Amino acid sequence: MTSQQQKAQEFHNLHTNDGCFLMPNAWDSGSAKMLVATGFKTIGTTSAGVAFSLGRPDNIFCSAGARVDRESMISEVHAIASSVSVPVNADLEGGFGDSPEIVAKTIQLAIDAGAVGGNIEDYTGIEESPLYETSLAVERIQAARETIDASGMPFVLVGRTDRLNINQPDGFSEAVLRANLYREAGADCLFAPGASDLATVSELVKEINGPINVVMGLSGSELSVTQLKETGVRRISIGGSLARAVYYQIQKAAEEMFKEGTFSFAQNQLPQSELNKIFESRL
């Protein structure tokens, strides 16, 4: 069995070697196993998908009282990492607290849960002040880096800035500034969601001094892995898009049964034997 240390080194190498890789996002052990059974060699978690699977709203768009807490999220990360033998990157949102100390603790908990990489974002979840002040955001990345270095695990730290998602002037330039500051603070990979066209992605690759992640699967973007690879993107994730697609199918099936009293949705389903085969082992 591959050790966590080995998986962490393998995952780290994917970010330092040349090339581009696609890392789809799972939200529970079942979705994780299905992705790995298809052939993916590494996966991420999606905090949105995890929240939906728990019957909760996504952190970014809900009140503080409705959010998934750290204990619940780490528990799901552990379940996913324990169910597959490939490297797992954890979506750790904003670290589940404002202070660098809380972020550091969250990173340690993710490592203990079996993750070999994790995102820390600068989105506060507060409409009036949506991003952490730049110096504090940097300190949070530094605290995460110190914890990782102390662990001896080559855990991949992803510094995420949501500046492109904030409808304010100078979004691109500040996103680049923040990403480069996070890189200097110790982030191994940089992530600026909100870029979905080839021109903007290409500019991010040129301006950010480190490997970058882009998220695909969102509405309005038809870019392919090949196109993104040609720009120099290192990593591609899909966020909660696969989870949302699955929930769309549930909604359509529920509406058909409730409104029409028919069951045509059942024409497209995986055989029980195939699912049993996927789920009976740790892939």
Sorted by sequence, the CB contacts under 8 Å of residue 139 that are 6+ apart come out as: 100, 185
Provide the pLDDT for residue 219: 64
Which domain does 202 fall in, by range? 4-241
Provide the pLDDT for residue 228: 97
pLDDT, tens digit, 9 for 90 and up, residues 23-56 = 999 999 999 999 999 999 999 999 999 999 999 9
Mean pLDDT of 94-107: 97
Provide the pLDDT for residue 49: 97
Q: Is residue 252 in some structural domain?
A: no
Higher per-residue pLDDT: 215 or 2: 215
Instruction: Report residue 168's pLDDT band, with 50, 70 and 90 as the boundaries.
Output: confident
Q: Is residue 280 in some structural domain?
A: no
Q: Is residue 268 in some structural domain?
A: no
**CA–centroid distance for 189 within its chain:** 12
pLDDT, tens digit, 9 for 90 and up, residues 232-271 = 999 999 999 999 999 999 999 999 999 999 999 999 999 9
Instruction: Check whether 104 has a pLDDT greater than 90.
Output: yes
- What's the rounded Cα separation, in Å, for the pair 95 and 118? 10
Q: Is residue 158 in some structural domain?
A: yes
Q: Is residue 184 in some structural domain?
A: yes
Provide the pLDDT for residue 113: 98
Number of structural domains in the chain: 1
Q: What is the CATH number of the domain that holds 237?
A: 3.20.20.60
Q: How many residues does the chain have?
A: 283
- What's the rounded Cα separation, in Å, for the pair 77 and 71? 10
Instruction: Check whether 220 has a pLDDT greater than 70.
Output: no
Tokens representing 248? 């769309």
CA proximity to 282, closest of 65, 79, 64: 79
User: Percent of the chain having pLDDT more than 90?
Assistant: 89
User: Percent of the chain having pLDDT more than 70?
Assistant: 98
Sorted by sequence, the CB contacts under 8 Å of residue 220 that are 6+ apart come out as: 196
Lowest mean pLDDT among 62-66, 143-147, 213-217: 62-66
Q: Is residue 269 in some structural domain?
A: no
Provide the pLDDT for residue 1: 59
Provide the pLDDT for residue 61: 64
Lowest mean pLDDT among 78-87, 155-164, 165-174, 212-221: 212-221
Q: Is residue 117 in some structural domain?
A: yes
Mean pLDDT of 170-199: 96
Residues forming a β-bridge with 130: none
Provide the pLDDT for residue 221: 74
Provide the pLDDT for residue 156: 98
Q: Is residue 172 in some structural domain?
A: yes
DSSP codes joined into one string, 124-151? -S-TTS-B--HHHHHHHHHHHHHHHHHH
